[in-house]
Every structure is written in structure tokens, then in C-alpha cells.
Structure 1
Amino acid sequence: MITNTLKSLLAAICLGMFFYTGSVFGFSLGHFLLPILALAIIISIVYKPLALPINHLCKGVGILSLLSFLLLMLAGTMGGSFHLSPSNQVIATLLAGIALFGLTSFFWSEKIMPAHNK
């Protein structure tokens, strides 16, 4: 139950990141991986055989988002004092949300259905 809620929140934040960064930077071909990821996460809630690969994918997305967030914070310190533009503040918030909910995938319990005997 809680796993499905965390998956839904991660998918929602990925869609939010897609629309916001698309409006700021423009849409590109690689940019469309975010809604595909969000759709795959939502499908994994219903279609259980997809749950384990999506779990591993969310772990990777959480780690990459955390590293991106840390690099953005490091870039904000350039020039001797910390400053982020308003658009970078929103992106930092979305990256932190993706990192937070993506890293919770380390604790998701996915029940593997046993194979049917033939």
C-alpha cells in the first residue's frame, strides 16, 4: 500500500520535472524519458511482473537525482557566496523530491509471484 503511494508520488514528481524543465529549457528527445519513466512506474503498480525491474530503475534514478542535486548546490556556491536563480530553485526542489522518493525504492518490498508448475 505505502509502496504504491511512494511510486505514485515519484511518478508525479517526474511528470512535474518534465513539464517544468520543458518550459524552461525546451523539449528534447532525451527529455521524453521522464514521462516514459512515470508511465512505467504507474504500470508497475498494476502489472506485478514489471515491479522488480522498475524498482531497480527507480534506485538508479534516485541516485542520479541526488548526485545532480548535489552538483547543483555546488554550482550555486560559485563566486564565493551561495545563489541560485528562481528557476534553479524549482529544479533543485524537484531533484530533491525525485531523489527522496527514488531512494525509498531501496525499501520497497516487491512480492515475487512463484512460477507455475507445468
Structure 2
Amino acid sequence: MPEREETSPATPGHQRPPGKEQLETATTVFALMADPTRLYLLWLLSRGEADVTELAASTEAARPAVSQHLAKLRLAGLVQARKDGRRMVYSLRDGHLRRLVTEALSHADHQVTGESWHA
């Protein structure tokens, strides 16, 4: 069976034109992703769960700064947290965000490397 190029949204509910609320919500997501540290945190979480200590070490950012970024992402509903003993473990809320982060960074990689574009 040939591979199907994914050009349509995953579910029929996503095929309707966006309303004002959807556009405003999407704009908020893009605004939060516009910060390099937050985008990197989202990319790290797209690879799996992590706690603040792991994320701070990976980003080389101060733990309080990472905590503040995570609080913003959590407040916006982009990440979720669960308690594991004394630590909070963070993860992405859904696959849409995971794909959005991956696609944004893949697009940037093409621009930075000059690699040819693909459909």
C-alpha cells in the first residue's frame, strides 16, 4: 500500500474553518512557542516526561527560570504535571502540540541548513 501524504486534519471536527476563539487560542500557543527556552522545553517534553531538574540541566537554564517557563506552559494548558514522590514530572498534553513543535523545528532546520524543501 503506498504511503498517503497527510494533508488533511486527523479528525472531521478539525475540517471546519477556524472561529475567533480557535484563532486566538492558536495565537497564544504560537506566542508561547516564540520564546527559545520554552520551545526547547516543549521539544524536550515531546521526547518524553521529565522533571524540572532534568529540564534545567538539558537547557542549561537556571531551575527557577525553567520552573517559571513550565508554569506558563501549564497555565496555557500545553503541558501537564503529575506528582511522582517529591518531584513534579511534566509532559505534553497532546499529539497535536508534539507534531506542531516537530514541524516548526523541521521547518527551521530547512531554513538554517538550506536543505531542499519537501511536500
Task: Compare relative contact order (CA 8 Å, sep 6+) and give the higher one, 1 or 2.
Answer: 1
The reply to whether TM is greater than 0.5 is no
- Could you state the TM-score of these two structures normalised by the residue count of structure 1? 0.30
| Structure with higher helix content | 1
